[in-house]
């Protein structure tokens, strides 16, 4: 199986035993507390679950600026986006202390992790502007990821962490949330050697379904990992539980048994386009996947990125940055000529009128009105799940 990123084995930061967890929570009674923001809590979940291997915790200023400018840590390891604990709170602790971090997404002041504070550093306005511009490609705060980053604050609190739990993800998504360790173990148990990963924050329509099928066939995959984001999204995106039901419905009806593994991970969407596509590749390498499907406007939002910028960026990083390979997907659409979903680059004899193409906006508009989606766009069983959600809103 493919090695984890920058390591021979996964390096999850979750406490490994119940005894260790009890001891840490007992020690936390005398520690100072800090409620982190949702982005930092999501980073803790990813650190705990092994997806951020080989990181030990939150980055300091030197690493953050190096990642922003050069897509590598100060030690030279490839890494595409900052992993930070930023705040605008008044702090009552100092460097060298251990602090109990409170989960903002769970009631009852639940401790999600213990952080050993290595540095407390202030980012200047110009440093934050540079980080945002390099990572997101814009400083426009109508971009949801940019807005979130600016709102987190300018105090950077770095240091190693011991993660105590996976926030709300195990409870709310028990059938779907999986750690990188669990996914690797499942792949090994199935005997799969060559696995294709598909990232999604949306329900899967026929084009997505066929894209997974095409990629699997073309790289001779043993199986497909459908890996859905379960964390915070922007307003208007379809909730994770609805997406989960829609995806399971599609797989149950239209894929061979035991060919697809449906899982999810606890991270808040960055909408960082090309940089986030690289981060998605790191996640899937850490899961043990050989390929990641990167399609049109991968991890994008609005018109901030070119349709295939997220593919191009992989051609512009050093060859040894990642071991996972990319399956580059073109626009996919239903061909009325061939009566099937195709990648548009594969059918040069087609004109625009030969395809059935619906925008996400048009789809949401139809669903909110209770209108059926065309069978060429969405499987009827999937459309029914989505329509039920929209009619109940």
Where in the sequence numbering do the catalytic residues fall? Answer: 201-202
The residues that bridge with 325 in the sheet, in sequence order, are 291
For residue 262, how far is the Cα from the chain centroid? Answer: 14
In contact, 199 and 224? CB cutoff 8 Å: no
Q: What does the alpha-carbon distance between residue 138 and residue 367 come to, in Å, rounded to a whole number?
A: 32
Distance of CA 354 to the CA centre of its chain: 34
Calculate the alpha carbon distances from 283 to 181, 213, 298 in Å: 11, 21, 15
Q: Which two tokens stand for residue 193?
A: 């050697």
* Helix axes of 380-392 and 360-368: crossing angle, nearest 10 degrees: 70
Cα-based angle 284, 289, 295 (whole degrees, multiple of 5): 65
What does DSSP say about strands 155-163 and 111-116: parallel, antiparallel, or unpaired?
antiparallel
Those residues whose C-beta lies under 8 Å from the C-beta of residue 392, and which sit 6 or more positions away, are none
Gyration radius of the chain over CA positions: 21
Are the beta carbons of 89 and 32 closer than 8 angstroms?
A: no
Q: 368-371: long-range contacts (C-beta < 8 A, 24 or more apart)?
A: 368/393
Parallel/antiparallel/unpaired status of strands 291-294 and 195-200? parallel
Backbone angles phi, psi at 177, to 5 degrees: -60, 130
């Amino acid at each position: 199986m493919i090695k984890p990123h920058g390591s021979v084995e996964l390096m999850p930061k979750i406490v490994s035993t119940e005894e260790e967890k009890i001891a840490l929570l007992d020690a936390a009674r005398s520690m100072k507390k800090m409620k982190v923001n949702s982005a930092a809590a999501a980073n803790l979940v990813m650190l705990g679950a092994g997806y951020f291997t080989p990181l030990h915790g939150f980055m300091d200023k030197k690493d953050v600026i190096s990642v922003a400018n050069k897509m590598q840590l100060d030690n030279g390891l490839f890494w595409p986006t900052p992993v930070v604990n930023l705040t605008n709170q008044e702090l009552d602790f100092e460097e060298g202390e251990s602090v109990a971090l409170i989960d903002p997404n769970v009631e009852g002041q639940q401790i999600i992790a213990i952080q050993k504070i290595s540095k407390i550093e202030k980012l200047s306005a110009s440093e934050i502007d540079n980080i945002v511009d390099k990572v997101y490609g814009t400083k426009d705060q109508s971009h949801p990821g940019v807005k979130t980053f600016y709102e987190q604050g300018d105090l950077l609190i770095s240091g190693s962490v011991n993660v105590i739990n996976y926030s709300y993800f195990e409870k709310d998504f028990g059938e779907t949330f999986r750690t990188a360790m669990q996914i690797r173990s499942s792949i090994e148990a199935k005997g799969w050697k060559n696995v294709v990963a598909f990232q999604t924050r949306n329900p899967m329509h026929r084009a997505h379904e066929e894209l997974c099928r095409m990629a699997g066939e073309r790289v001779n995959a043993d199986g497909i990992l459908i890996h859905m984001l379960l964390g915070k999204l922007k307003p208007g995106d379809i909730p994770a539980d609805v997406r989960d039901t829609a995806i399971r419905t599609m797989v149950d009806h239209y894929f061979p048994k035991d060919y697809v593994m449906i899982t999810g991970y606890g991270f808040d969407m960055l909408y960082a386009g090309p940089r986030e596509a690289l981060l998605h590749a790191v996640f899937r390498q850490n899961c043990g996947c050989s390929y990641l499907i990167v399609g049109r406007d991968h991890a994008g939002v609005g018109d901030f990125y070119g349709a295939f910028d997220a593919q191009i960026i992989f051609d512009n990083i050093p060859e040894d940055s990642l071991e996972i390979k990319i399956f580059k997907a073109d626009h996919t659409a239903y061909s009325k000529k061939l009566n099937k979903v195709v990648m548009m680059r594969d059918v040069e004899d087609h004109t625009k009128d030969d395809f059935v193409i619906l925008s996400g906006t048009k789809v949401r508009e139809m669903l909110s009105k209770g209108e059926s989606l065309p069978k060429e766009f969405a499987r009827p069983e999937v459309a029914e799940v989505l329509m039920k959600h929209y009619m109940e809103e």
